[in-house]
Amino acid sequence: MLFQTYIRTNEVGLRFRRGELRDILLPGKHINLPGTTIGVYDRLAIEFEHPELETLLENLQLRSMLEVVDLADNERGLIFKNGRLLYMLNSKRYAFWKQMDELVIETYNVNDVRFEHPSLPRILSNPDASKLLRTIRTDEQEQILIYNDGEFVEQFGPGTYAYWIGAGNITFKSIDLREQLIDIGGQEIMTSDKVTLRLNMTVAYRISDASKSVTVVSDAAQAIYREAQLALRIAIGARTLDALLTDKNVVSDEVLAAIKGRALEFGVDVRSAGIRDIILPGEMKTIMNQVVEAQKQAEANLIKRREETASARSQANTARLMAENPVLRRMKELEQLQLVLAGTKATFVLGQGDLVKQVNQMVDSDADNP
């Protein structure tokens, strides 16, 4: 039985007989012959897919209408049309209908591990990107170290990076470049005069070379802790308790100088080191309190004696001046009299002669005339 098949402008027909391709049907009307089937394919779909693609590509007319992309096991591909990403391709053979607008086909070797592209953010937003690419994003305060099968590949700073999946076992380490603190607490150390103390110290540092910080030592923070601990024990063991308590900043500076150079060898910049607490044993604390109390009492007694000496010297000077100057002595007498008569009704009579005799006469006169 015959019937017609209409092939539209953007379509291509393939006539098969007994499963083999016989004819390529271009747009128009076509009669189906007995024992044949016609498959119609939309060229606007861009990709031509068929279970027997390999066999069909042997037809030279059909192949001339297709753009064939054959990707090896270590290759991946990107298909663009008018600057827009259409497909991300894994290793396989693909066929695309040739378009009026030319397709742009980009192929990449995954052995290069890292995928770089001017339009990387747009490519990573494609739904298929996660199937082919592993995305790594870093902040401003980070450095990232990339390893492939355990071997260091590269290191980079802030940004977005992509690596091909299947190119190896890609792993990475994130290194924080911000300043960090290490607390070195509960260190029991004996001074040179055999006093056991407990000290707490703080060390501030930042990573200056990310690669060294993970290759020279396994744990940079632990390495700094160990170096600071040893330097602190050496510094404290060489001092008496009094010397330590007098200026603990000297010890901090000594520890900092001791660990700074060593830390640079494994990529760490030690910024500061400081003793936070010095904890004395109970009996030593009691003794120190007694010493301090005795010192303060001695200082108080010394100050008191100094004041008494100064007062006696001042009184001696005043007496000498009054002995040498009668007018000054009389003024002093008036001041004392004013103090005695403060708050009373008093009459002052000033004249020649001895002031004391005049006052006595006035008192005797008041007694005779009640």
pLDDT number for residue 308: 77
pLDDT number for residue 204: 95
pLDDT number for residue 294: 66
Burial class of residue 338, CB neighbours in 10 A (0-12, 13-18, 19+) = exposed
Using only the alpha carbons of the chain, give its radius of gyration. 51
Max Cα-Cα span within the chain: 173
User: What whole-number distance in Å separates Cα of residue 13 and Cα of residue 39?
Assistant: 5
pLDDT number for residue 355: 59
Residue whose structure tokens are 């004249």: 351
Residues 6+ positions from 84 with CB-CB distance below 8 Å: none
User: What whole-number distance in Å separates Cα of residue 261 and Cα of residue 269?
Assistant: 9
Contact indicator for 144, 175 with CB cutoff of 8 Å = yes
User: What whole-number distance in Å separates Cα of residue 162 and Cα of residue 116?
Assistant: 7
pLDDT number for residue 41: 93
pLDDT number for residue 45: 86
At residue 352, what are phi and psi to the nearest 5 degrees? Answer: -80, 155
Neighbours of 214 (CB within 10 A): 20
Stretches in the chain below the pLDDT threshold 50: none
* Prediction pTM value: 0.63
User: What whole-number distance in Å separates Cα of residue 346 and Cα of residue 368?
Assistant: 18
pLDDT number for residue 240: 85
- Per residue, the 3-state secondary structure of the chain, as one string, reads CCEEEEECCCEEEEEEECCEEEEEECCEEEEECCCEEEEEEEHHHCECCCCCHHHHCCCHHHHHCEEEEECCCCEEEEEEECCEEEEEECCCEEEEECCCCCEEEEEEEHHHCEECCCCHHHHHCCCCHHHHEEEEEECCCEEEEEEECCEEEEEECCEEEEEECCCCCEEEEEEECCCEEEEEEEEEEECCCCCEEEEEEEEEEEECCHHHHHHCCCCHHHHHHHHHHHHHHHHHHCCCHHHHHHCHHHHHHHHHHHHHHHHHHCCEEEEEEEEEEEECCHHHHHHHHHHHHHHHHHHHHHHHHHHHHHHHHHHHHHHHHHHHCHHHHHHHHHHHHHHHCCCCCCCCCCCCCCHHHHHHHHHHHHHHCC
Contact indicator for 199, 236 with CB cutoff of 8 Å = yes
Give the strands of the sheet with 159-164, arranged side by side.
114-115, 159-164, 133-138
pLDDT number for residue 278: 83
pLDDT number for residue 3: 76
